Amino acid sequence: MLPCLVATAAATGGVAFPPPGGGVTFPLHRYTTDYALPGRVNGKHIRMHVNQYFGRVALGTPPQPFDVVFDTGSGNLVVPRAQCTAKPCASHRRFMANQSSTAHELALDDGTELTPGDERDTSTISYGSGMLTGEYVKDRMCVEGPGTQLCYELNFLGVTTESDYPFSMLPFDGILGLGMAGLATTPQFNFVSQLKKPILAFFIADPNADEESEVSFEEWRAERYEGNLQWMPLEHMDSGYWQVALIDVYLRSPSGEAIGLCSEDDDGTCRATLDTGSSLLMGSAREITMLQRAINADGDCSNYADLPDLVFAIRGSSGRVDLTLTRDEYVDKSLSGCAPLMHSLELPPGMPPMLILGQAFFQKYYVVFDMANQKVGAARAKHAPARQKVVTARQEAPKRPAPASPPAVCEDKNEAMRQSQLPDCPKFKTFGGCAKWATLASSHCTKSCGLCPENHDQSGIVIKEMQRTRMGRGDGSEI
């Protein structure tokens, strides 16, 4: 992901002073989804594994626990509340305002409290193929690490209804947006704006090592990285995204062949967003197509050993910062084949081209977000040694033939679609939904979309297009 970092602070713009303390650090848990991509290699779908990381927060007095994704690409806290009786809410924790002595029901997004007889505003947020509607609430939110607890007063969206897909399939309860105020309903809804020291830091564990992922608020931990942090100034902060200026992407080395990703921009740079909520390297179709053509990875892994490093050149506070991804960091290589961990998405209208730097960067690099000083810093993460594989000899029991699988049932779930405020599957197909939201197609509209398994081929979810639409501001619009 990030570059080979040079050791001396004077030469590279790194910092050698100790990190701030007095904050809180606590663990994150990994949730992995296994997808099958379109097309086949040697008769099988290539599989891709994508991750989400979530942790525990507490709302109210006394505290009510919630597991949330920590997402630097959105700006609001969103959790289900007791009034939500939809299936996805019923399978997750729900906020009980009447059991919290510090809860305040809000009528408007400006913080106006609800009084008896008042009407109240609601917000509908759409992202991907999912949708949720909620009411405004204010309460205490606390996070806790070893021997430390920090609490903040925060306005948030208490969900009253949400679509079955994808929320019923997720193991976490909600989302804590860690973007800046431009992504929140108002600054009072923005968690980062409530921090006394608006600093965040992420360490994503190596799944092959004995270590935990973690997030830090109001501090960062020098023991989690090697050398010095390399700082990059933030660009376009009013958007709410943690964006830096991307100069270009180079093949094999910092002085290698430039892809020409940003040549069409007036100042020779384009935008790159650091997003902990994105599992993949994403961007508009032009940028992702150029990257995929440049690496030219074969699905059967026949040219895997020859795939080049990708060097992402970023405008730094003191010169260029080179962030490098090697082939094993941007390609998911498995027995089924090789799949580049990148995908195009449709950016909101009016948004200029940009790349979204997702979790591959965060696993290789320790990243610090510093809003007060308008910069982000990165250094090579210090991972624990890989676990040793222990092989023991044992006598295998005679294998018996597996029982025959029952015939697969292939049918549409039209009732579930209607409950999620979505069209029936035949109309969903007419609107082009089978290609645009393939995960929804494969889970709810297999018959209409022609995704019924053939010869009982258990290929999992087939992706024809993956989309991550940014969370809305809470006014029904998307960003």
Dihedral-angle region of residue 474 (phi above 0 means left; psi in -120 to 50 means alpha; beta otherwise) = left
Same domain, 421 and 360: no
Q: Are residue 187 and residue 234 in the same domain, yes or no?
A: no
Residues whose CB is less than 8 angstroms from the CB of residue 360 and which lie 6 or more positions away in sequence, other chains included:
1, 280, 281, 325, 329, 330, 341
At 345 the pLDDT is 82
CATH number of the domain to which 350 belongs: 2.40.70.10
Residue 268 resides in a domain: yes
438 within domain boundaries: yes
* Sequence letter at residue 304: Y
In a shared domain, residues 86 and 123:
yes
Does one domain contain both 251 and 180? no
**Domain match, 280 and 374 both:** yes
Same structural domain, 82 and 147: yes
Q: Any idea which residues carry the catalytic annotation?
A: 71, 275
**How many whole angstroms separate alpha carbon 209 and alpha carbon 205?**
7
Rounded to whole angstroms, the Cα distance separating 200 from 219 reads 7
Q: Would residue 474 count as lying in a domain?
A: no
- Confirm whether pTM is higher than 0.85: no
Q: Are residues 97 and 52 both part of a single domain?
A: yes
Question: What is the extent of the structural domain holding 348?
Answer: 9-22+222-380
Say how many CA atoms lie within 13 Å of 27 toward its Cβ. Answer: 6
pLDDT for 431 equals: 64
> Do residue 175 and residue 321 come from a single domain?
no
Whether 283 and 300 share a structural domain: yes
Of 147, 177, 194, the last residue of a domain is 194
* Burial degree of 272 (CB within 10 A; 0-12, 13-18, 19+): buried
- pLDDT of 458: 36
Identify whether residues 366 and 226 lie together within a single domain. Answer: yes
Q: What is the pLDDT of residue 332?
A: 92
394 belongs to a structural domain: no
Does one domain contain both 360 and 245?
A: yes
Query: Which pLDDT score, from 0 to 100, does residue 263 have?
Result: 64
Is the same domain home to 40 and 15? no
Q: Judge whether 3 lies within some domain.
A: no
pLDDT one digit per residue (tens) for the chain, 479 residues: 333 322 223 333 444 445 656 899 999 999 988 767 766 677 677 888 888 899 999 999 999 999 999 999 999 999 999 999 988 999 999 999 999 999 999 999 999 999 998 899 999 887 655 788 999 999 999 999 998 999 999 999 999 999 888 888 888 999 999 999 999 999 999 999 999 999 999 999 998 899 999 999 999 999 999 999 999 999 999 999 999 999 999 999 989 999 998 865 556 778 999 999 888 899 888 889 999 999 999 999 999 999 999 999 999 999 999 999 999 999 999 888 999 999 888 777 777 778 999 989 999 999 999 999 999 999 999 999 887 655 444 444 444 444 444 445 688 888 877 766 678 888 777 766 665 565 567 677 878 877 765 433 333 333 333 333 333 333 333 33
Q: Which of 380, 402, 434 is the last residue of a domain?
A: 380
- Split into its structural domains, the chain has a count of 3
Looking at residue 384, the DSSP 8-state letter turns out to be: P
Q: Which residues contact 233 (CB under 8 A, 6 or more apart)?
A: 244, 245, 315, 316, 317, 374, 375
Q: Which pLDDT value is given to residue 429?
A: 79
Range 224-227, long-range pairs (CB < 8 A, 24+ positions): 224/366, 224/381, 224/382, 225/365, 225/366, 225/379, 225/380, 225/381, 225/382, 226/5, 226/379, 226/380, 226/381, 226/382, 227/5, 227/6, 227/7, 227/14, 227/379, 227/380
